[in-house]
């Protein structure tokens, strides 16, 4: 035996790589999901461009961290207040039709915002109004998109498709912010809004080209009284769902407000520009893509993995908060992005795979409220913390809260270990 033989034996062959790749991307074998994936790929880049442009616009208008947090909060306030009603409607209606409507309205709102910035003297109240109206669209769009995934790929490929969809959402984070920084510096903020408005056409074309006969509509809820309360009761009395939602809510409030914390970190802690902020977001996006691909390859979500990812995410946030150099912050943001999206996609898949089909819209609306609808609470709070103590303290605060968010997950794991006679969940 040569010294190199053990190494050569462990070296993956081409067939091994091919099998691993096929496993990671196996939900893309479904034509309807491929179309959706391509359409979303175009749209998500535009969405991130608008997110960066909107944050930079507010800083240029007022220079206030609190105002930045307020705009972000208003974009998600309708989801917090009306999200459960949106879930009830999604459980009753055809998901594909809902998505057609939301893409049209969101595209028109982006176009309007671009015209307001480019052709008039825009005021903060107009930015707040557009953010609130987009939030109204997301009341239906978010739970509909989540529930529509199973209709395209079926239950067997659901976890993989959810993870790939998360990869897709964050691939846009790689391209979108970098493009936004370049476009803002070259042509100005309005072009980012115009580009986002055009990008929604990609999703509408994809939805139109789908073969309806290949869709597998999930069971719909019949219209009856008490459906809203029934959704809350179902989620609360199903222990795994309840504890996952609690953890996601804590992370949503205190951690996932990077559109507030990262521009402040870029500008005030490192003396950067819009390009610096775009680079920070892109670094997170690169990590998010890698993290999503790892989860897509594994495909089977577990509470143990979810708890580990939550802890790792919090620790990495603390690392970013204390990083003394820009290059070190960028490196840590890559790993932070990986754990953040791995946590969210694993939580998403766990909720969908452990909830009844006729309850899916309501459960996923609660997920959207916990993850995104909590922003009206978290964004102003983080904006206030950053305004009084600095961006680093705001990020560190989120890191500690995220580590604590693993506690409800560890409790579920402990209960299941006791029920299984001490066996460890894999």
In order, the DSSP letters of 402-418 are: HHHTHHHHHHHHHHHHH
Spell out the domain ranges in the chain: 30-210+226-419
* Rg of the Cα atoms in the chain: 21
For 33-80, how does the pLDDT look when each residue is reduced to its tens digit (9 = 90+)? 999 988 988 888 888 888 888 888 888 888 887 787 788 778 878 888
For residues 138 and 76, the answer to whether their CB atoms sit within 8 Å is: yes
Taking alpha carbons only, the member of 187, 38, 199 closest to residue 109 is 199
Q: What length is written for the chain?
A: 426
Question: What parts of the chain have a pLDDT lower than 50?
Answer: 1, 3-4, 7-8, 424-426
Query: CA-to-CA distance for 143 and 90, rounded, in angstroms?
Result: 7
Query: CA-to-CA distance for 194 and 50, rounded, in angstroms?
Result: 9
Query: CA-to-CA distance for 218 and 251, rounded, in angstroms?
Result: 29
Return the ∠ at Cα 385 (arms to 383 and 387), rounded to 5°: 65
Task: Indicate the Cα dihedral angle 46, 123, 258, 140, nearest 10°.
Answer: -60
**pLDDT reported for residue 210:** 93
CATH of domain 30-210+226-419: 1.20.1250.20
Q: Where are the beta strands (DSSP E) in 233-329?
A: none
Q: Against a cut of 0.75, is the pTM above it?
A: no
**pLDDT reported for residue 172:** 66
Phi/psi of residue 249, each to 5°?
A: -65, -45
Q: Which residue has the tokens 């239906």?
A: 140
């Amino acid at each position: 035996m040569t010294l190199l033989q053990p190494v050569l034996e462990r070296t993956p062959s081409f067939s091994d790589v091919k099998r691993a790749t096929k496993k990671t991307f196996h939900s893309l074998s479904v034509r309807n999901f491929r179309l959706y994936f391509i359409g979303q790929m175009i749209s998500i880049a535009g969405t991130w461009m608008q997110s960066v442009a909107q944050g930079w616009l507010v800083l240029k208008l007022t220079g206030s961290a609190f105002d930045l947090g307020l705009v972000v909060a208003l974009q998600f306030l309708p989801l917090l207040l009306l999200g459960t009603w949106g879930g009830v409607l999604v459980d009753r209606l055809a998901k594909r039709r809902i998505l057609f409507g939301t893409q049209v309205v969101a595209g028109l709102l982006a176009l309007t915002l671009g015209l307001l910035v480019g052709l008039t003297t825009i005021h903060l109240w107009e930015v707040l109004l557009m953010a609130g109206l987009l939030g109204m669209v997301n009341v239906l769009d978010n739970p509909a998109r989540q529930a529509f995934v199973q209709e395209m790929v079926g239950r067997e490929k659901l976890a993989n498709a959810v993870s790939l969809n998360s990869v897709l959402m964050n691939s846009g984070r790689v391209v979108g912010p970098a493009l936004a920084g370049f476009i803002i510096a070259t042509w100005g903020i309005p072009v980012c809004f115009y580009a986002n408005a055009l990008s929604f056409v990609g999703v509408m074309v994809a939805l139109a080209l789908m073969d309806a006969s290949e869709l597998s509509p999930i069971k719909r809820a019949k219209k009856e009284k008490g459906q809203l309360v029934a959704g809350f009761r179902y989620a609360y009395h199903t222990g795994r769902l309840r504890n996952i939602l609690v953890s996601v809510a804590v992370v949503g409030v205190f951690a996932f407000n990077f559109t507030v914390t990262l521009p402040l970190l870029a500008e005030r802690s490192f003396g950067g520009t819009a390009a610096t902020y775009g680079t920070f977001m892109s670094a997170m996006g690169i990590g998010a893509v890698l993290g999503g691909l790892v989860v897509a390859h594994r495909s089977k979500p577990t509470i143990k993995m979810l708890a580990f990812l939550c802890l790792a995410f919090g620790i990495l946030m603390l690392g970013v908060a204390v990083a003394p150099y820009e290059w070190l912050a960028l490196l840590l943001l890559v790993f932070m992005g990986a754990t953040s999206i791995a946590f969210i996609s694993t939580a998403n898949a766990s909720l969908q795979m452990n909830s009844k089909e006729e309850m899916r819209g309501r459960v996923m609306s609660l997920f959207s409220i916990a993850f995104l609808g909590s922003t009206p609470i978290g964004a102003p709070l983080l904006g206030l913390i950053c305004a009084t103590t600095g961006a680093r303290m705001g990020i560190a605060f989120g890191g500690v809260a995220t580590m604590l968010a693993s506690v409800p997950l560890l409790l579920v794991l402990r209960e299941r270990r006791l029920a299984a006679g001490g066996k460890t969940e894999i």
